[in-house]
Amino acid sequence: MKLLKKVAVLGLAGVLAASTMIGCSKSSTENGGNKETNVTNGTSSGDTSSKETDPGETIPIRWYLAGSGPQADVEAVQKEIDKYLLDTYNMNIDLQIIASDYASYTQKMQMVISSGEEYDICWTASWNNNYYDNVNKNAFMELDELLVSDAPELLESMDTSIWEGTRVNGKIYGVPSQQIFPKQNYIVIDKAYVDKYKLDTNKVKKLSDLEDFFLQVKADNPDIYPFAASSNGLMGKLNLAIGYEPIAGVKLPGVIATDGTDYKVLNQYTDLPSLKEFYDLMYKWQKEGLVRQDAATVSDNAVPDIKAGKHIAAVNATFKPGIEATEQSNFGGREVVFIMLSDSYMATDSLVSSLNAISRTSKHPEVAMKFLNLVNTDKTLYNLLCFGVEGVHYTLNDEGKVISDNNKGYNPNIDWMLGNQFNGLLREGQADDVWEETKEINASATKSRVLGFAFDSTKVTNEIAAVNAAIDQYALPLETGAVDPDTVLSEFTDKLKAAGSDKIIAEMQTQLDAWVAANK
């Protein structure tokens, strides 16, 4: 298996039949006035009685999100959203967004969930605040009936196959964010250094091919650590480049090799030489000063340091049309160059890479569902969440594209996390056809041979908890180069085995075999 293979074109053969409907909400309108929704005091069309509230009662909706942390002016944006919903739909809510940085979000949410705290909505994914783990902990509500009764427009806006990819034990527990679904790992590099050192990007076939280039940069700029790494980790950004598709979380033992044809469940830590190669590379790069020694403690996905020019290159999981503007912003407005590190690949993991779920502890699940319905179908509401208040937090250029002001206190840059990205305003620098191109990539990506398989972890809940404890101790230091894989990896895998990794993989194999037999 080649480590970190480069490809030249986006999207290979393989058609996701559902994708033509992705993001095409029949009930969205340009100004957000969705007449079909007809919300009155939290009720939607077909239901003229209020299930949750008397007229005039304000319902608090607490929404946990990840990102770069709390936005300074979030309260002003929340008030504007509350006013808009009341004026447009007579929906009387008090929106309360609680944001944490990516690195601390999982731990934060596990504390919230285990304490039984009352909240309404949280962002969840296969790679952060793990969707499958939380479903199996009974943390989230089943949404099948709520979608029909309180969010019909949202339900119709995505093809059945997208919803099917979110099911666990036959039930839907999260609303997928409509966006790019296939992943394509990439590295983005400051163009000034590419030009100065005459890097031939066409010759970069794998991540290690950049070592000589990084060493040149380091020699001339000793204060720069060329390759960005942080407490957010790297495995979730490079799993396709390394060569595996996770079954129930990018770090949980149990994966399928992306270049294979069989249905054998592997332990990536012992069965994939390419992962050991990656760990070796990171350890070497840290010894050479190409990666920060304290990378595992760096928060905010290292973006502030990238913006300040302390790093010149970073990897990410998903290349998508329009990402150029986002990455250029991350690099402080400097021009950047992209190199693809994997094929465009559609997996079940892709469909659960960003969802919003309703908590079991919510006192107002119907109102929360109606709110999510509007977030995903009302363009005005969605763009308020994404960009804040026009004229205060951003302006529009002559083309009607967003110019964000980072100094105005609201620029969360998590559009893909919030809802239907195809309803979003374009950012300055994004092409006019960015959403159409995204839908084409959704349609043309290579599909996983296990697309649609969802693992039920009920029988191995205790083992997963024990394994996750070992992962928390060892995985991040290994993937950021802080420890020597030749000594630490075997210690790690011994801990995984003692915690029950073999039992987890055996259960995955049993369920996958049954799924394959049923889907022949």
Rounded Cα distance between 74 and 156, Å, is 31
Please report the pLDDT score of residue 406 as a whole number. 67
Q: What pLDDT, on a 0 to 100 scale, did the predictor assign at position 301?
A: 84
Please tell me whether residues 236 and 214 are part of one structural domain: yes
Q: Are 306 and 354 in the same domain?
A: no
Range of the domain at 359: 40-180+350-445
Mean pLDDT, rounded, for 52-59 = 68
Assess if residue 498 is contained within a domain: yes
pLDDT in tens, 375-386: 999 999 999 999
pLDDT confidence of residue 416: 94
Residue 349: pLDDT above 90? no
- What digits encode the pLDDT tens for the residues 432-464? 999 999 999 998 899 999 998 888 888 999 999
Question: Average of pLDDT values for 248-273?
Answer: 95
10 band by pLDDT with thresholds 50, 70 and 90: very low
Residue 149 within a domain: yes
Q: Give domain status of residue 157, yes or no.
A: yes
Band (pLDDT 50/70/90 cuts) for residue 415 is very high
How many Å apart are CA 51 and CA 283, to the nearest integer? 57
Within 10 A of 148 (CB to CB), how many other CB atoms are there?
11
Pair (331, 462) in one structural domain: yes
Residue 1 has pLDDT above 70, yes or no: no
Among 445, 461, 487, which residue terminates a domain? 445
298 and 317 housed in the same domain = yes
- Average pLDDT over the chain, rounded to an integer: 89
Q: What angle do CA 372, 232, 102 make, to 5 degrees?
A: 30
- 3 state SS of 167: strand
Percent of the chain scoring above 90 in pLDDT = 76
Question: Are both 273 and 379 inside the same structural domain?
Answer: no
User: Using one digit for the tens of pLDDT, what is the confidence trace for 187-208?
Assistant: 999 999 999 999 999 999 999 9
Residue type, 486: D
CB atoms within 10 A of CB 462: 11
pLDDT-derived band at 151, boundaries 50, 70, 90: very high
Q: Are residues 209 and 311 in the same domain?
A: yes
Section 58-81 average pLDDT: 96
Tell me the H-state helices in 434-500: 434-444, 461-479, 485-499
- Say if residue 312 is in the same domain as residue 404: no
DSSP codes of every residue in 374-413: HHHHBHHHHHHHHH-SBTTTEEE-TTS-EEE-GGGS----
State whether residue 320 is helix, strand or coil.
coil
Find the mean pLDDT for residues 247-259.
93
pLDDT value of position 46? 36
> Which of 11-20, 81-90, 390-399 has the weakest average pLDDT?
11-20
- Of the given ranges (21-25, 90-94, 120-124, 195-199), which has the lowest mean pLDDT? 21-25
Please give the residue that has the higher pLDDT: either 250 or 146: 146
Assigned domain for 461 exists = yes
Average pLDDT over residues 45-71: 72
Using CA atoms, how far apart are residues 170 and 252, in angstroms rounded to an integer?
22
Last residue of a domain, one of 385, 413, 445: 445
Q: Which of 445, 471, 500 is the last residue of a domain?
A: 445
**Averaged over 422-437, what is the pLDDT?**
93
The residue that leads in pLDDT, 69 or 45, is 69
Token pair of 227, please?
């390759």
* DSSP 8-state assignment for residue 484: -
CB-count burial class (<10 Å; 0-12, 13-18, 19+) for 51 = middle
At 339, the pLDDT band (50, 70, 90 cuts) reads very high
State mean pLDDT over 380-408: 91
Q: Within a domain: residue 21?
A: no
CA gap 131, 69 in Å, rounded = 20
Question: Are residues 127 and 91 both part of a single domain?
Answer: yes
**CATH at residue 507:** 3.40.190.10
Q: What's the alpha-carbon Rg for the chain, to the nearest Å? A: 23
Q: In this predicted structure, what is the pLDDT of residue 39? A: 43
- Do 518 and 490 lie in a common domain? yes
Share of the chain above pLDDT 70, in %: 89
Q: Is 433 inside any structural domain?
A: yes
Q: Is residue 503 part of a domain?
A: yes
Instruction: Tell whether 66 and 172 lie within a shared domain.
Output: yes
At residue 42, does pLDDT exceed 60? Answer: no
Do 128 and 265 lie in one domain? The reply is no
110 neighbors 51 (Cβ within 8 angstroms): no
Residue 9 has pLDDT above 60, yes or no: no
Res 149: pLDDT: 98
278 and 365 share a domain?
Answer: no
In a domain, 167, yes or no: yes
pLDDT at position 43, please?
A: 40
Q: How many domains does the chain have?
A: 2
pLDDT of amino acid 27: 36
Q: Which of 24-28, 120-124, 316-320, 398-402 has the lowest mean pLDDT?
A: 24-28
